[in-house]
Structure 1
Amino acid sequence: MRRGTGVQSISERLSELAAETPDRPAITELAAGGTYREITYRRLFEDVSALAGLFDSWNRDMDGDAVICHPASVSIESAKTILAALCAGVTVLPHAPLIDAEVLSSALSRAGLSGHLRSVRMPGAPETDQGPGATVRMTRWEHPAEGRRPHYLLATSGSTGIPKLVPFRNFGGYDPRAVPDVVFRTCKWQSGQKQLIVLPIYHIGTVAALIQGVLDRNQLFLANQLDPEEMLDAIADRRIEWLMLTPNYLRHLLPAAARRPERLNSLNGLLHTALPCPAPLKQAWLDLLGGERVFEMYGGTEGVGVTVISGSEWLAKPGSVGRGLLTDIRIGDAQGLERGEDGIGQIYLRRFGASARTHAATPWLRSTSDGFVSLGDMGWVDEDGYLYVFDRAANQTATASGVAWLGRLSLVLRTHPDILDAECIALTDDGQVDVGMLLVTRDPRAVPDLAELERFCATQAGGHRFPRIHLQVAEIPRSEIGKPDATAIRAIFSSAGSRETRTPVTSPFEEEVPRGSTA
């Protein structure tokens, strides 16, 4: 039962938890080989308080305008850094550890902040430690259009270049009526649960799960680079009840999970997000866990709205990402006007209570005068209000032989029983645009049958131009959450040499986009 309904500061909430259960483990960091380290609620409060005092002094030195850029890892140190910044009221930007300083500076400048970065060594970090987390970078909050500084900033994936920064003004305090939030509650989150964090702690879902998990008296387990067997053993041994994954993690875990599914018995909820999930992969996890324990969320870092679907709903509506959760959905044209005809259009979302001013800080997104915002995806809504995402509008590519939808075609290829992973990309050579595909076969020694793949894609997703160029690789470059690294993928094709060294494939596919594809 919750105690009271008053709002507390983050520091007050941590102090309360430390007083109630001082010796209860708050965060346990699991490492390869079965090693681990943990921190109690009392020690967490003490360490976070000391770090918050240091951040406060740094903030005063910068006249109250400090922004701490933290190379976040799945670690106790990153958890303490984010919590300490919230306690001190200092804006924090958790980011990918290996992000280039020049890219980070450009992202800050584009967001209206100072691009000048100053490195500061974290307390207790040995001088010989040059790894991520040993230092943080600091800059100033210089955003004339924003009167109130955000509590934290998060970067978009940056898959098309420089990441964009999104300001967040939630989690300035602990409100027991809002923690856990409505999305997590819908996905079987229970207060005081044993919760596993696997995704990087600079992803919007993970940051929310981390902060709310601590404030909600959960026991958090951080999986630090565990292989599939070790992760599943940890879930069983620690009796994990809730976790969040991406389809890329689901794919890597599936073979081990299928061998010994009893290791998943403790789970109440598994939420997957961030990327489209191939239907066979989703079905395999529903077979393992059942429809009442698997959930999917669709949304974006920009926080324009979310949809959620349970596994049971998905079985009735295969391919859907659910209905709006405190979110209105509109299928519109390029200007955001609602389409009168049935079919695919641009997806617009509007959080309940949002207005046109709500998204002034995300000007790169297309928005309407009545508060609807598009993440750039195309799709449709069925007669029951369930949303289906077809592809990103930016993935529509015109080639000499017709139109290709790169994301959709990649997803369809990943459903083929012989293909473990696939990614399609636009390649430009002498002004001519072609589509190239990287393929990872389940049997590394097998040569893919391109004609059979083409027939499969024609059956599953008619309306796509099949790629003229293909390369077979051992692994596709992806981010930590599984998003394709377009720069690295283009480099692979470039290093493969001229078109003559690749495999050309022609296709007579029709160009129209089918409405009902659910691959």
Structure 2
Amino acid sequence: MRRSTAVLSISGRLSELAADIPDNPAIIEVVAGGSHREITYQRLCEDVSALAELFDSWKRDMDGDAVICHPASVSIESAKIILAALCAGVTVFPHSPQIDAEVLSGALSRAGLSGDTRCVRIPPQHETDQDSGATVRITRWESPAEGRRPQYLLATSGSTGIPKLVPFWNFGSYDPRAVPDAVFRTCKWQSGQKQLIVLPIYHIGTVAALIQGVLDRNQVFLANRLDPEELLDTIADRRIEWLMLTPNYMNHLLPAAVRHPERLNSLNAILHTALPCPAPLKQAWLDLLGGERVFEMYGGTEGVGVTVISGSEWMARPGSVGRGLLTEIRIGDARGLERGEDGIGLIYLRRFGASARTHSATPWLQSTSDGFASLGDMGWVDEDGYLYVFDRAANQTATSSGVAWLGRLSLVLRTHPDILDAEGIALTDAGHVDVGMLLVTRDSQTVPDLAELERFCATQMGGHEFPQVYLQVDEIPRSEIGKPDATAIRAIFESASSRQFRTPVTSRFEEEVPHGSTA
């Protein structure tokens, strides 16, 4: 079928879909236990239109300054709220349900909104609805970003405990030339496909996948807290063709996928993003799906640029995150000046057409006068233009034994066959800095052999980079997409220092244990 080239409003596109494919499922929410709910394109259009009228009345009551803050879940209700806000032209901020009220208020204030919000419950739209209605909070603009109200806001990961809000002005209308976008097109997105969303609907990639999936007449499946076996069953039974994951999800899904590789046969592509992927984990998925069905994307919520790499390219250049897609890459110094010599430097990205003014809404980024901006990562580019990420610049830690890179060290430890997860942190005590490392073993009953771990690490880094403090935990505090919660991790070590932590492996906070042994 030939695609129309007409640009439509979001509501106009939904009406068009409701007329063309009224009874086709638009969104199917699959929940634990195998049950599901679904909504057709016709009913989706009706429900979104009704919600948009409600949101438009809020906007009029607040002289156009209304902003809807929604604790988004992987659900039909959250999808309808986001789509309705776009239809009504009301700025929507889908955010994590776990965000603390004080943190939310501070993030809103720093973004030019009122930190004061009022809670509103949206009643169920149908008597047969199983939910009791969705909750949103309403606030208002004090000073809109760029002097104009964006279509939606998204929060940075907030791993330091201080999320920042990024404004977006896309999806104000439906342009068939831009849906699917260049990244999704490169990663084998097909119009009308069956796609599965498992990541929370407040992450930049998921929001884009949700909106574009609906507008591109896909069947969008939402996996609501499924365990790995149920997720594989959904992929197989529903013949899912396209899926976005993070390395954290890939790690938890891998054992079940290895047991039942045939359940992945319908997939045309998986796209992983958000975090560095350990090489053995990446290779395991390439062994399962092949190089033409695995893609990786590097970028950030701030939208400064993006790189993409296929599995086949990665096998030829292990560790790379790809070449710029409509993006220029510069390896520079702290001032943004291009490095004259080969080696590691700050990674700067520039979207085609970007200028210095492009980054005025994200002043926390290090940017240059000619439109490049850095997400704070260090890396290098090879002779063919492929980017390699070394670590976050903020992860560089000067310890008493030398310079350590916390992210790189954690990533190396996560490649050990006995380690499921690891995350490092700098510990300061009376001016003395050590590296502390949380470890999660694959067998929770096994205490890791630290001497063997250090022998493993020694093949990839210097001995001065090894942790001085190890703590074994059942789980590392992370966001829903897998980014470490630095505040919670520090609290774990502080608890250990006061002898409240239950499972020390070795620690200078506890009784002296010879380095490389276990307690």
Match of 2:510 among 484, 491, 501: 501
Q: Does 1:215 align with 2:215?
A: yes
Assess if the C-alpha contact under 8 Å between 1:405 and 1:464 holds in 2.
no
Please give the alpha-carbon distance, in whole angstroms, between the structure 2 residues aligned to 1:295 and 1:379.
Answer: 20
Assess if the C-alpha contact under 8 Å between 2:113 and 2:144 holds in 1.
no
The CA deviation at 1:199 is: 0.2
Aligned length: 504
Please give the alpha-carbon distance, in whole angstroms, between the structure 1 residues aligned to 2:511 and 2:412.
Answer: 22
The answer for the alignment partner of 2:149 in structure 1 is: 149
The answer for the alignment partner of 1:259 in structure 2 is: 259
Amino acid at match of 2:510: T
Amino acid at match of 1:72: A
What is the CA deviation profile of residues 62-95 of structure 1, one whole-angstrom value per residue up to 9, with x for unaligned ones? Answer: 0011000000000000000000000000000000
Q: Percent identity?
A: 85
Q: Does 1:300 align with 2:300?
A: yes
Please give the alpha-carbon distance, in whole angstroms, between the structure 1 residues aligned to 2:261 and 2:77.
Answer: 32
The answer for the alignment partner of 1:279 in structure 2 is: 279
User: Map of 1:68-217 to 2, 5 A cutoff?
Assistant: 68-124=68-124, 134-143=134-143, 146-217=146-217
What is the CA deviation profile of residues 364-406 of structure 1, one whole-angstrom value per residue up to 9, with x for unaligned ones? Answer: 0000000000000000001111000000000011112221100
Assess if the C-alpha contact under 8 Å between 1:71 and 1:133 holds in 2.
no
Match of 1:234, SS state, is helix
The answer for the alignment partner of 1:44 in structure 2 is: 44
Please give the alpha-carbon distance, in whole angstroms, between the structure 2 residues aligned to 1:461 and 1:79.
Answer: 45
The CA deviation at 1:133 is: 6.8
Assess if the C-alpha contact under 8 Å between 2:153 and 2:168 holds in 1.
yes
Please give the alpha-carbon distance, in whole angstroms, between the structure 2 residues aligned to 1:494 and 1:132.
Answer: 40
The answer for the alignment partner of 1:61 in structure 2 is: 61
Please give the alpha-carbon distance, in whole angstroms, between the structure 2 residues aligned to 1:326 and 1:350.
Answer: 9
Match of 2:105, SS state, is helix
What is the CA deviation profile of residues 467-491 of structure 1, one whole-angstrom value per residue up to 9, with x for unaligned ones? Answer: 1000111111111001111122112
Match of 1:73, SS state, is coil
Question: What TM-score, normalized to structure 1?
Answer: 0.95
Larger CA deviation: 167-176 vs 446-455: 446-455
Please give the alpha-carbon distance, in whole angstroms, between the structure 2 residues aligned to 1:461 and 1:505.
Answer: 22
The CA deviation at 1:463 is: 7.1
Assess if the C-alpha contact under 8 Å between 1:180 and 1:212 holds in 2.
yes
Match of 2:33, SS state, is helix
Cα distance change of structure 1 residues 73 and 145 upon mapping to structure 2, 3 Å threshold: closer
Please give the alpha-carbon distance, in whole angstroms, between the structure 2 residues aligned to 1:272 and 1:502.
Answer: 42
Match of 2:81, SS state, is helix
Please give the alpha-carbon distance, in whole angstroms, between the structure 2 residues aligned to 1:161 and 1:189.
Answer: 34
The answer for the alignment partner of 2:504 in structure 1 is: none
Cα distance change of structure 1 residues 256 and 348 upon mapping to structure 2, 3 Å threshold: same
Please give the alpha-carbon distance, in whole angstroms, between the structure 2 residues aligned to 1:471 and 1:427.
Answer: 13
Larger CA deviation: 462-471 vs 223-232: 462-471
Amino acid at match of 1:23: D
Q: Does 1:320 align with 2:329?
A: no
Cα distance change of structure 1 residues 63 and 463 upon mapping to structure 2, 3 Å threshold: farther
RMSD: 1.7
The CA deviation at 1:456 is: 1.4
Assess if the C-alpha contact under 8 Å between 1:193 and 1:218 holds in 2.
yes
Please give the alpha-carbon distance, in whole angstroms, between the structure 1 residues aligned to 2:125 and 2:431.
Answer: 51
The CA deviation at 1:3 is: 3.3
Assess if the C-alpha contact under 8 Å between 1:469 and 1:503 holds in 2.
no
Assess if the C-alpha contact under 8 Å between 1:471 and 1:502 holds in 2.
no
Match of 1:97, SS state, is coil
Match of 1:173, SS state, is coil
Larger CA deviation: 18-27 vs 436-445: 436-445
Amino acid at match of 2:354: A
Amino acid at match of 2:347: I
Please give the alpha-carbon distance, in whole angstroms, between the structure 1 residues aligned to 2:396 and 2:280.
Answer: 24
What is the CA deviation profile of residues 245-286 of structure 1, one whole-angstrom value per residue up to 9, with x for unaligned ones? Answer: 000000000000000100000000100000000000000000
The CA deviation at 1:407 is: 0.5
Assess if the C-alpha contact under 8 Å between 1:114 and 1:141 holds in 2.
yes
The CA deviation at 1:114 is: 1.4
Cα distance change of structure 1 residues 123 and 390 upon mapping to structure 2, 3 Å threshold: same
The answer for the alignment partner of 2:426 in structure 1 is: 426
Assess if the C-alpha contact under 8 Å between 2:77 and 2:134 holds in 1.
no
What is the CA deviation profile of residues 151-175 of structure 1, one whole-angstrom value per residue up to 9, with x for unaligned ones? Answer: 0000001111220000000000000
Please give the alpha-carbon distance, in whole angstroms, between the structure 2 residues aligned to 1:75 and 1:302.
Answer: 25
Unmatched 5+ stretches in structure 1:
508-519
Cα distance change of structure 1 residues 267 and 88 upon mapping to structure 2, 3 Å threshold: same
The CA deviation at 1:462 is: 3.3
Question: What TM-score, normalized to structure 2?
Answer: 0.95
Please give the alpha-carbon distance, in whole angstroms, between the structure 2 residues aligned to 1:153 and 1:442.
Answer: 38
Cα distance change of structure 1 residues 254 and 490 upon mapping to structure 2, 3 Å threshold: same
Assess if the C-alpha contact under 8 Å between 1:399 and 1:434 holds in 2.
yes
What is the CA deviation profile of residues 15-73 of structure 1, one whole-angstrom value per residue up to 9, with x for unaligned ones? Answer: 01001111111000000000001000000000000000000000101001100000000
Please give the alpha-carbon distance, in whole angstroms, between the structure 2 residues aligned to 1:59 and 1:500.
Answer: 55
The answer for the alignment partner of 2:358 in structure 1 is: 358
User: Map of 1:387-466 to 2, 5 A cutoff?
Assistant: 387-462=387-462, 465-466=465-466
Cα distance change of structure 1 residues 51 and 505 upon mapping to structure 2, 3 Å threshold: farther
Assess if the C-alpha contact under 8 Å between 1:271 and 1:295 holds in 2.
yes
Please give the alpha-carbon distance, in whole angstroms, between the structure 2 residues aligned to 1:41 and 1:493.
Answer: 50
User: Map of 1:334-373 to 2, 5 A cutoff?
Assistant: 334-373=334-373
The answer for the alignment partner of 2:471 in structure 1 is: 471
Assess if the C-alpha contact under 8 Å between 1:200 and 1:206 holds in 2.
yes
Amino acid at match of 1:358: T
Amino acid at match of 1:501: E
Match of 2:309, SS state, is strand
Amino acid at match of 2:167: P
The CA deviation at 1:448 is: 1.3
Match of 2:84, SS state, is helix
User: Map of 1:477-492 to 2, 5 A cutoff?
Assistant: 477-492=477-492
The CA deviation at 1:143 is: 1.8
The answer for the alignment partner of 1:517 in structure 2 is: none
What is the CA deviation profile of residues 314-351 of structure 1, one whole-angstrom value per residue up to 9, with x for unaligned ones? Answer: 00000000000000000000000000011000000000
Q: Does 1:5 align with 2:9?
A: no
Please give the alpha-carbon distance, in whole angstroms, between the structure 2 residues aligned to 1:44 and 1:340.
Answer: 55
Please give the alpha-carbon distance, in whole angstroms, between the structure 2 residues aligned to 1:502 and 1:115.
Answer: 47
The CA deviation at 1:445 is: 2.1
Cα distance change of structure 1 residues 152 and 24 upon mapping to structure 2, 3 Å threshold: same
Assess if the C-alpha contact under 8 Å between 1:440 and 1:473 holds in 2.
yes
Match of 1:54, SS state, is helix
Please give the alpha-carbon distance, in whole angstroms, between the structure 2 residues aligned to 1:181 and 1:107.
Answer: 29
Larger CA deviation: 393-402 vs 191-200: 393-402
Match of 1:308, SS state, is strand
Please give the alpha-carbon distance, in whole angstroms, between the structure 2 residues aligned to 1:503 and 1:347.
Answer: 41
Assess if the C-alpha contact under 8 Å between 2:47 and 2:125 holds in 1.
no
